[in-house]
Amino acid sequence: LQFFHDSRSRLPPGPWPLPLIGNLHQLDHLPHRSLARLAARHGPLMSLCLGAVLTVVTLSPDTAREILQRHNAAVAARSIGDSMRACGHCESSVLCLPPRRKWRALRRLGAAELFSPQRGGGGARPARVEPRGAPVDVGRAAHAAALGLLSRTMFSADQDPATAREVSDVVDEASVLAAGPNVSDFFPAVAAADLQGVRRRMARLVKRMYAIIDEQIERRKRSRAAGEARRNDLLDVMLDKEGELEDQSTDEMKRHGTIRGLFTDLFTGGETTSHTIECALAELLQAPNSMRKVQEELKTVMGTKQQIDETDISKLPYLQAVVKETLRLHPPVPLPPYEAEATVEIQGYVIPKGTKVLINIWAINRCVDSWIEPNKFMPERFLGTEVNFMGRDFQFIPFGAGRRICLGQPLAHRMDEDNGVDMRERFGLALSLVVPLRAVAEEIH
């Protein structure tokens, strides 16, 4: 008992764990919220046991800055859920890979190619909702718009409607599976048994997604062999670089593993976009004043113009503030999981090597020390401020921060190099959010 007490005494404070289950009984289906409630009693850096897994949660901008800036070298590996091991997906997923050579190569590729003007995806198209006046499934319309944009960036083409629907369903189901509680994650010793069958169910979805991507790869290879012109999209770039990324395996499941892994991750990223659009509309529908301001701004700036481009975004400050305020209140990735690869000391506390580290973005974005009325939807709070989601203002980190900051987030330091003049870098992601948001908002209007 003395040993147990001593080893815990240098950990951050936290609720006392029960035998076997640890603190699992104190979490509900929204763990970011239950962890925030627990932190009110134990402090913004808190340790607890989730089953057999020692976990440290950070819930304040200051502790997040210390982990993601000062100790980022030691805390940059992902703590991977067992479902991500289905079909060996984690071995080629930028989301899961440890911060080493392959991960760096994929990050570089994503940063350079994803938002380059050549790969604009042929422009975002308005979501089609027929017939006019009928009820709108906002989530579906927004997800379809987001996936269409991604599909055109990767393959220079929309998927046919049946495949697009299937991709959307697979991504939805996989997100629910990956985010749900899994005994294997809390008791790694029994993970191999896959007691809840989560990995097995995930494997079915991953295989389906890989088959859809494979079809595109084979089609492209045939068109290349026939001497057709290059599309210069992400698939062309990936096929050119495949040799460097080492997946010329003869094993069917490993062949094109890197392309499959990256494209699957990117499709999953589309879900965050549609989640944000859904939340923005839900907030706007409850805030008629804000909705009116958005619509007036759109009418004044855009008129009847159908296609928004980068230059228009800077003329829509209120819509940008709505997107930011939505990301602050409803971050689609509220609790990104890390793993400490070395023991680190933070504010006098010790986080041992191997500890799971959760960054509670949801709680950080609502920190009472940083925001007035933090739980209220007030887009105006972002007007006239420089606070941005580039990962430097730690009171607002919807895309995370540090070296694992969201890959969809155009990189802030590229902008620094250009003295901040590269508006494309700055607004690339905002564009991908705003275009479908406008499309759906207009349908509602």
In the complex with ligand HEM, the residue whose CB is nearer, 72 or 370, is 72
Q: E strands of 293-419, at which residues?
A: 337-339, 344-346, 349-351, 356-359
In the complex with ligand HEM, the residue whose CB is nearer, 50 or 329, is 329
Binding mask 252-271 for ligand HEM (x = CB under 6 A): -------------xx--xx-
Shortest separation between residue 149's beta carbon and ligand HEM, angstroms: 9
Q: 33-92: which residues touch ligand HEM (CB under 6 A)?
A: none
For the chain, how many residues are written?
445
**406 is annotated as contributing to ligand binding:** yes
Shortest separation between residue 144's beta carbon and ligand HEM, angstroms: 14
Judge whether 186 and 31 are in contact, CB under 8 Å: no
Binding mask 404-433 for ligand HEM (x = CB under 6 A): xxxxx-------------------------
Q: Which stretch binds ligand HEM (CB under 6 A): 163-171, 176-184, 328-336, 372-380?
A: 328-336
In the complex with ligand HEM, the residue whose CB is nearer, 58 or 273, is 273
In the complex with ligand HEM, the residue whose CB is nearer, 224 or 241, is 241
Q: Does 332 bind ligand HEM (CB under 6 A)?
A: yes
Q: How many chain residues bind ligand HEM (CB under 6 A)? A: 25
Q: Nearest CA to 268 among 113, 100, 83?
A: 83
- Please list, residue by residue across 2-14, b when 16 or more beta carbons sit within 10 angstroms of its beta carbon and e when fewer do: eeeeeebeebbeb
Shortest separation between residue 125's beta carbon and ligand HEM, angstroms: 16
In the complex with ligand HEM, the residue whose CB is nearer, 8 or 341, is 341
- Nearest-5° angle of CA 342, CA 83, CA 194? 105
Shortest separation between residue 339's beta carbon and ligand HEM, angstroms: 11
Q: H or E element: which one contains 58?
A: strand 53-58
How far apart, in whole angstroms, are the C-alpha atoms of residue 51 and residue 183? 8
Q: Any residues with CB less than 8 A from the CB of 211 and at least 6 apart, and which?
A: none
Binding mask 113-152 for ligand HEM (x = CB under 6 A): -x--------------------------------------
Options 46, 74, 87, 94; binder of ligand HEM; rule CB under 6 A: 94
Judge whether 46 and 39 are in contact, CB under 8 Å: yes
Q: Does 320 bind ligand HEM (CB under 6 A)?
A: no
Q: Nearest CA to 279 among 328, 230, 320?
A: 328
Shortest separation between residue 122's beta carbon and ligand HEM, angstroms: 16
Name the β-bridge partners of 45: 58
User: Can you say how many angstroms the Cα of residue 284 is from the centroid of all Cα atoms in its chain?
Assistant: 23
Options 58, 151, 272, 360; binder of ligand HEM; rule CB under 6 A: 272
Judge whether 82 and 90 are in contact, CB under 8 Å: no
Name the β-bridge partners of 46: 57
In the complex with ligand HEM, the residue whose CB is nearer, 17 or 389, is 389
Question: Phi-psi category of 17—alpha, beta or left, where left has phi over 0 and alpha has psi -120 to 50?
Answer: beta
Judge whether 149 and 115 are in contact, CB under 8 Å: no
How far apart, in whole angstroms, are the C-alpha atoms of residue 208 and residue 130? 29
* Residue numbers belonging to the annotated binding site for heme: 406
Site of interaction with ligand HEM (CB under 6 A): 94-95, 107, 114, 265-266, 269-270, 272-273, 276, 327, 331-333, 336, 361, 398-400, 404-408
* Residue numbers belonging to the annotated binding site: 406
